[in-house]
Amino acid sequence: MIKLIVGLGNPGKEYSGTRHNIGFKVVERFLERRGSDKFEERHTCSSMIYCGRFRGKSLILQKPLTFMNLSGEAVGALCRREKILPEEVLVVCDDMDLPLGELRLRGKGGSGGHNGLKSIIGNLQSESFARLRFGVGRPEKENAAEHVLGVFEEKDGRLLDLLLTRSCEAIECALSAGLDRAMNGCNRKFEVEDV
């Protein structure tokens, strides 16, 4: 059972619209969708956390404020404090190996070269946490750091909005029906026509 949703990103206004901050955006959209549900916002464990309930069960959402490469410090501290096991964590992050439009949910796995995931794996001493990878594509000319720290193009606005919604639906399905069911509906490429 998932008890903690972690959205990865970097703190600060200069990073707010970047590809690397898509985890933050998914958490924010999830909270918007909850509407009347009460999620209490707190600053703790080098993070902004939101504590509430989903379908009668306790749920915490976390946005680490440690910068991406040190995300594991914040996630590990919160897991230890709340006695949350790696198997009860779902991490949302960007993925350059997937094109924009593709989502991939998995129950466990390696870092795939993602420094945020690498930090979490190191701190939890486990790869057994779920992760929702949000495709941002790989750049043809600019280097990887410039790409993930760049903003989405204006033409991608409708698709981005759809993907944020689909990501939240996948999380909600994972919380209510389990990861396998969520993976069946989530792991594919979405097009603007799906809007």
How far apart, in whole angstroms, are the C-alpha atoms of residue 38 and residue 50? 9
How far apart, in whole angstroms, are the C-alpha atoms of residue 171 and residue 36? 18
**Is residue 20 flagged as an active site residue?**
yes
How far apart, in whole angstroms, are the C-alpha atoms of residue 100 and residue 94? 10
How far apart, in whole angstroms, are the C-alpha atoms of residue 110 and residue 55? 30
What is the full DSSP assignment across 38-82?
Answer: --EEEEETTEEEEEEEETTEEEEEEEE-S-GGGHHHHHHHHHHHH
Q: What Rg do the C-alpha atoms of the chain give, in angstroms?
A: 15
Of the candidates 20, 43, 114, 147, the residue annotated as catalytic is: 20
Return the DSSP state at 2.
Answer: -
Q: Which residues are catalytically annotated? A: 20
